[in-house]
A and B are shown apart, each in its own frame.
Chain A
Amino acid sequence: MPSFGSFSLLLALVLSAYTLFSGALALWAIAHGRRLAISAEHLRETSRRAGMASFICMCCAAFALIYAAFTNDYSVDYILHHTNRALNPTYKFAALWSGQEGSLVLWAWLLSAYGFVLRLRHKVDITLSAYASTILAAIQIFFLLLLVFAAPPFALVPGGVAPADGFGLNPLLQYPEMIIHPPMLYLGYVGFSVPFAFALGALMMRYPGENWIHITRRWTMIAWLLLTVGISLGMHWAYAVLGWGGYWGWDPVENASFLPWLTGTAFLHSVMMQEKRGMMKGWNVWLIFSTFMLTILGTLLTRSGVVSSVHAFAQSSIGSWFTTFLVLTFVVCLFTFFYQRDHLRAENQLESLVSRESSFLFNNLILLTACFTVLWGTLFPVLSEFVQGSKVTMGPPFFNRVAVPVGLALIFLTGIGPLLPWRSTSLRAIRRNFILPCIAIVVTAAVLMFSGVRPWKDDDATSSIYALVCFSLSAGVITSIFSEFLRGAGVVGTQTGKNLFTSAILLVRRNTRRYGGYLIHFGVIVLFVGLAGSAFNQSKELEMGLGDSIQLNGYKLVCQSFTQDSNPNYDTDYALLDLFHNGKKITQLAPEKRFYTASQQPSTIVAIHSTLAEDIYVVFEGRDNQTDKPIIKVFLNPLVNWIWVGVGIIVFGTFIALVPPLKPVRRIEPVTESQHAPRGGVVAVAEVRNV
């Protein structure tokens, strides 16, 4: 099977190289009207088919690696280092992305899968798809070159003698979310290659009009959605597994996933200006170029060891490959941009200082500032070492202080942007649109202060004031979103005579993009509210014997028992704790500490009792050396569930935005002779707006 896998990779490389060169040759011949030995159209078609065949080869390679994991083939070095016999079969899938070589296989496989779908749907625009297919093949070649020469996943163990058992999977990866989090993240990362390929292709061929944006809109949104889900699953995994009570630690690996998300979000907003008004063409092209390059830069940062990360599971020396690829990509993008820059001239100009267009500009500014800040914070230790000769740590205190104000500015713009019309507006309209959200902001702030959120009395005043501002602004944004829905539904209700709820559904169906977008904004605000809850986190740590209890803000944990257990994969130490709230038993929690025998590494399994208001988060920290009693740490984390609910709303909103909108029903009515019907025009189309 290792030979089969290696051969599949080699064949995929050959096919991708053919896709690139034959595609480039055919497109060159078509663009310049040159004749080739075979017709350029035929050559282009062979290129497309070769690209599709490379996907089949990648499927074979991925299958070979998974098969080797399931059959405990320890003659393969990668399998030896990332699995063991006692490993739960479900986690043997996770072995595919738990190490360097495997994750590169996953990347190349997903890229070929995206390419397969793109090539399958080439009729949407044959020439543009051919350009995109050729560019994707070039990216695919890079990953396959890596897999064939720099990080071969099917390399055999040194000496050729296969050990009886493997070294096991990293314990931190032995958690259900790890089955889905990395593939989602990679689907998001790799997904941005498609809009990148389309944008570069459209620029290379001087694609007329903005139709390429319509073609790539779904690709971009799906990639953005998958990246969002991937990042959120990673947050949940960190929350449930790492056991430090938080979900985002500003680790370089987390930052690397956040960077393309920020530029991708900026692109999704900014591209609307190009679509509706023919503006910001050059800017949009660079936004999608940057998004793609940031996916590569993120991988370079975490894989090359340039920055150290606590969960860079797969560090190695392939940094120079990624650097070369990144530089090459940048040069190609820059050259194409300068060569074709006259094609990117704006068709319209900004007509008013206060308009949807200007709000998009500021939205882009905030998102890109956030992106730069995160990148700056991630790279500053390297810069500091270069300048001062000593590395520094850029931990949560830095990121929280600089990123939170930027996040608040983003909430502010999320509220303002949708209320401003395209082109221009009047002062009176602004006053009318903003009065309700402003009232909501002031009332929320007053109610919160009245109910005890008083930053000037808190130890951590900065966090409290940020939380207060966040809650107040969020109330304003939510009010503006709901007033938009209500106003639209009211008008549709008047048109159709249907009730408010049905009218709201009809409104959303008529314009899925706009109202899906509003739902996404709503989800983002709910998520921000959840994040702001962390300002009020509390924790306590105690050594707990039988019957001992710990109190935390109305909650009480009583230790019922603590014991040990073991299975072939790991030994476990856990406590059974009864949780009471205001004297009433709610549930029993069982926090665990595991020790994996194959990898000789410990892992935490946190016990969480979640409600919409707060989480009780219990960690089994270990046993006291003298008393042998468990040490339990309890966190009370307010509003954490709002984060996951917010993500759910974002996902739902994105699905809504992806659904094609309802089209006006066109009813064909016969036209009588007496009506105007020149030269055989016997029918007229009447548009029926009431559905």
Chain B
Amino acid sequence: MRRGVGWWLSLRCEMYKRLLQIVFVIALAFTMLGADDNSTTKLDKIGHMMVCQCSCGQILMECNHVGCPVSGPMIEELKAQLAAGNTEGAILQTFIAKYGPIVLAAPIRGGFDDVAWIVPYTTLAVGTLGVGFLVVYWRRRYTRLHPAAPLPTPDDAGGEMRDRIRHDTDYDA
């Protein structure tokens, strides 16, 4: 039985709707991630956001120096701050005021610190766009220079497969 164009279009619309639903659910799942929070994990979480100041350069909760004169008191101080019910931001501010911004394991104070985070992602985004444009430009230039060059069609797939197998199993040049 041959199906009409309308049937195919409605099927395609249905597929797009389903896809959108899936994307929505995934996005929701991502935004809900990390919503769980409690005091025991808070100590671990904030402790992992700071660096021990004994010059070992290790994460506060991972400093393993025997009798480290710094990490112990720092952790006790953190516990006291948590017990006092201070927020994560307030606790970090207290530590920054005491030890300087170097106490943070990553720059999270806002302002110029944000540049540290923005630049790598921007580089990746700009690079991806750049490479994408380059590929499209080169392809267009090739088509312009070789107007008669045939594009592979789905019918060529069998021949292409044969070429590929020959290429893959043949002796290296």
Asked whether B152 lies within 8 Å of A368 as measured between CB atoms, the reply is no
Chain B residues near A394: list those with CB within 8 A. 106-107, 116
Asked whether B62 lies within 8 Å of A245 as measured between CB atoms, the reply is yes
| B 133-167 contacts with A by CB, 8 A | 134-136, 138-139, 141-142, 145, 149, 151-154, 156-157, 160-161, 163-165, 167
A128 to B111, CA, bound (A): 52
**Segment with Cβ contacts to B, from A186-194, A288-296, A369-377:** A369-377
Query: A-facing mask of B5-38, CB < 8 A → 1, else 0?
Result: 0000000000000000000000001101110100
Chain A residues near B139: list those with CB within 8 A. 350-353
Chain B residues near A319: list those with CB within 8 A. none
| B 32-79 contacts with A by CB, 8 A | 32-34, 36, 41, 44-45, 48-49, 51, 55-59, 62-64, 66-67
Asked whether A395 lies within 8 Å of B51 as measured between CB atoms, the reply is yes
Asked whether A353 lies within 8 Å of B136 as measured between CB atoms, the reply is yes
Q: Give chain B nearest CB distance to A310 CB in angstroms.
A: 4
Which of the residues B55, B62, B113, B164 comes within 8 Å of A421, measured between beta carbons? B164
Chain A residues near B167: list those with CB within 8 A. 421
Q: A484 an interface residue at 8 Å Cβ cutoff?
A: yes
Q: A426 an interface residue at 8 Å Cβ cutoff?
A: yes
Asked whether B131 lies within 8 Å of A365 as measured between CB atoms, the reply is yes
Which size class do A's interface residues fall under? 35 or more
Q: B128 an interface residue at 8 Å Cβ cutoff?
A: yes
* B100, B130, B172: most-surrounded residue (chain A CB, <10 A): B172
Asked whether A424 lies within 8 Å of B152 as measured between CB atoms, the reply is yes
Q: Give chain B nearest CB distance to A461 CB in angstroms.
A: 4
Asked whether A362 lies within 8 Å of B171 as measured between CB atoms, the reply is no
A487 to B167, CA, bound (A): 12
Chain B residues near A350: list those with CB within 8 A. 135, 138-139, 142
A235 to B40, CA, bound (A): 31
A395 to B104, CA, bound (A): 8
Q: Give chain B nearest CB distance to A328 CB in angstroms.
A: 28
Asked whether A349 lies within 8 Å of B33 as measured between CB atoms, the reply is no
Chain A residues near B57: list those with CB within 8 A. 249, 251, 308-310, 393, 395
Query: A-facing mask of B94-130, CB < 8 A → 1, else 0?
Result: 0000001111111100011100110111011001101
Asked whether A514 lies within 8 Å of B107 as measured between CB atoms, the reply is no
Q: A443 an interface residue at 8 Å Cβ cutoff?
A: no
Chain A residues near B32: list those with CB within 8 A. 456
Asked whether B33 lies within 8 Å of A398 as measured between CB atoms, the reply is no
Asked whether A398 lies within 8 Å of B105 as measured between CB atoms, the reply is yes
Which of the residues B102, B157, B163 comes within 8 Å of A391, measured between beta carbons? B102
Q: A316 an interface residue at 8 Å Cβ cutoff?
A: no
Given A349-B141, A391-B101; A621-B33 close (CB under 8 Å): no
Chain B residues near A390: list those with CB within 8 A. 100-102
| B 83-99 contacts with A by CB, 8 A | none
Q: A648 an interface residue at 8 Å Cβ cutoff?
A: no
Which of the residues B33, B171, B172 comes within 8 Å of A465, measured between beta carbons? B33
Given A362-B131, A461-B33; A393-B138 close (CB under 8 Å): no
Q: A593 an interface residue at 8 Å Cβ cutoff?
A: yes
Q: A122 an interface residue at 8 Å Cβ cutoff?
A: no
Given A361-B131, A487-B165, A491-B165; A398-B107 close (CB under 8 Å): yes
Q: A428 an interface residue at 8 Å Cβ cutoff?
A: yes
Given A244-B64, A425-B160, A621-B66; A397-B152 close (CB under 8 Å): no
Asked whether A428 lies within 8 Å of B116 as measured between CB atoms, the reply is no
Q: A27 an interface residue at 8 Å Cβ cutoff?
A: no
In the complex, residue of chain A having the shortest beta-carbon distance to the beta carbon of B164 = A421
Q: A336 an interface residue at 8 Å Cβ cutoff?
A: no
Asked whether B152 lies within 8 Å of A402 as measured between CB atoms, the reply is no
Asked whether A397 lies within 8 Å of B33 as measured between CB atoms, the reply is no
Chain B residues near A432: list those with CB within 8 A. 157, 161
Asked whether B29 lies within 8 Å of A456 as measured between CB atoms, the reply is yes
A444 to B30, CA, bound (A): 19
A686 to B107, CA, bound (A): 68
Which of the residues A244, A393, A488, A663 comes within 8 Å of B104, measured between beta carbons? A393
Chain B residues near A353: list those with CB within 8 A. 135-136, 139
A398 to B100, CA, bound (A): 18
Q: A462 an interface residue at 8 Å Cβ cutoff?
A: yes
Q: A71 an interface residue at 8 Å Cβ cutoff?
A: no
A393 to B30, CA, bound (A): 28
Chain B residues near A514: list those with CB within 8 A. 168, 172
A619 to B67, CA, bound (A): 14
Q: Give chain A nearest CB distance to B161 CB in angstroms.
A: 7
Given A397-B105, A424-B151; A392-B135 close (CB under 8 Å): no
Q: A388 an interface residue at 8 Å Cβ cutoff?
A: yes
Chain B residues near A465: list those with CB within 8 A. 30, 33
**Segment with Cβ contacts to B, from A258-266, A504-512, A637-645:** A504-512
Q: A547 an interface residue at 8 Å Cβ cutoff?
A: no
Q: Give chain A nearest CB distance to B36 CB in angstroms.
A: 6
Q: A633 an interface residue at 8 Å Cβ cutoff?
A: yes
Asked whether A622 lies within 8 Å of B66 as measured between CB atoms, the reply is yes
In the complex, residue of chain A having the shortest beta-carbon distance to the beta carbon of B149 = A351
Given A351-B149, A488-B169, A619-B64; A358-B107 close (CB under 8 Å): no
Query: B-facing mask of A444-478, CB < 8 A → 1, else 0?
Result: 00000000000111110110010000000000000
Given A427-B154, A661-B172; A380-B116 close (CB under 8 Å): yes
A618 to B103, CA, bound (A): 28
Which of the residues A373, A391, A621 comes within 8 Å of B123, measured between beta carbons? A373
Which of the residues B106, B138, B156, B160 comes within 8 Å of A397, measured between beta carbons? B106
Given A310-B57, A511-B170; A402-B41 close (CB under 8 Å): no
A380 to B107, CA, bound (A): 10
Given A310-B57, A361-B134, A488-B169; A421-B163 close (CB under 8 Å): yes
Given A369-B120, A429-B160, A456-B32; A393-B171 close (CB under 8 Å): no
Chain B residues near A352: list those with CB within 8 A. 139, 151-152
Q: Give chain A nearest CB distance to B31 CB in angstroms.
A: 11
Q: A604 an interface residue at 8 Å Cβ cutoff?
A: yes
Asked whether B127 lies within 8 Å of A368 as measured between CB atoms, the reply is yes
Q: A436 an interface residue at 8 Å Cβ cutoff?
A: no
A191 to B34, CA, bound (A): 45
Which of the residues B103, B154, B165 comes within 8 Å of A428, measured between beta carbons? B154
Q: Give chain B nearest CB distance to A602 CB in angstroms.
A: 6
A645 to B124, CA, bound (A): 31
Asked whether B138 lies within 8 Å of A349 as measured between CB atoms, the reply is yes
Chain B residues near A421: list those with CB within 8 A. 160, 163-164, 167
Q: 20 pairs across A/B with beta carbons < 8 Å?
A: A349-B142, A350-B142, A352-B139, A365-B128, A369-B120, A369-B123, A387-B112, A391-B102, A392-B101, A395-B105, A395-B106, A398-B105, A398-B117, A402-B120, A426-B152, A488-B168, A491-B168, A507-B169, A510-B171, A511-B168
Closest 6 CB pairs of A and B: A622-B66, A461-B33, A395-B105, A350-B138, A398-B106, A661-B172
Q: Which residues of A pack against B, CB within 8 Å? A: 243-246, 249, 251, 308-310, 349-353, 358, 361-362, 365, 368-369, 372-373, 376-377, 380, 384, 387-388, 390-398, 401-402, 406, 421, 424-429, 432, 455-459, 461-462, 465, 484, 487-488, 491-492, 495, 507, 510-514, 593, 602, 604, 619, 621-622, 625, 633, 661-664, 689
Q: Which residues of B pack against A, CB within 8 Å? A: 29-30, 32-34, 36, 41, 44-45, 48-49, 51, 55-59, 62-64, 66-67, 100-107, 111-113, 116-117, 119-121, 123-124, 127-128, 130-131, 134-136, 138-139, 141-142, 145, 149, 151-154, 156-157, 160-161, 163-165, 167-172
